[in-house]
Amino acid sequence: MDTKKIPPIVTLSAALVASIVTFVFHYELKDSLLIILCVIVAFYIFSCMIKFLFDKMGMSAEAIAEKKKEEERRKEEEQALEEISLDPQRESQDGSVIEKDT
């Protein structure tokens, strides 16, 4: 989940709802703008806290991708170690034979 998009989406949605409500109830322009500004600030702070909690719990896309990379790297290392332990004689990069002492 991409947590970077949470604050703008929540903030703009709240501002849209606030502007519709102030329009429907015929608020004066000054009052309407003040209410919308307060809603924007409050919901931006609220959505940043939600984003922080998601990041802290490891639900961000970066954290999930990092975990996948770490898991793949660990599997590759295990596979390489298994290949080394199964093959008593291997060739090095220059073609010479490397014998494993057992």
- In this structure, is residue 96 part of a structural domain? no
The phi, psi pair for 95, rounded to 5°, reads 100, -5
For the chain, how many structural domains are there in total? 1
In a domain, residue 28? The reply is: yes
Q: Give whole-number Cα distances, 45 to 13, 48, 66, 101, in Å.
A: 14, 5, 27, 63
Handedness of CA 47, 52, 58, 61 (dihedral sign): positive
Structure tokens at 48: 């940043």
pLDDT at 91 over 60: no
The verdict on residue 93 lying in a domain is: no
In a domain, 40, yes or no: yes
Task: Evaluate if residue 86 carries a pLDDT over 70.
Answer: no
Q: Does residue 100 fall inside a structural domain?
A: no
- The mean pLDDT of 8-27, rounded to a whole number, is 97
* Residue 88, pLDDT score: 56
Mean pLDDT of 11-19: 97
Q: What is the pTM of this model?
A: 0.60
Over residues 22-26, the mean pLDDT reads 97
Element holding 80 (H helix, E strand): helix 61-86
Q: Which domain holds residue 28?
A: 3-87
* Averaged pLDDT, 24-52: 97
Residue 69 lies inside a defined structural domain of this protein: yes
Note the pLDDT of residue 89.
Answer: 58
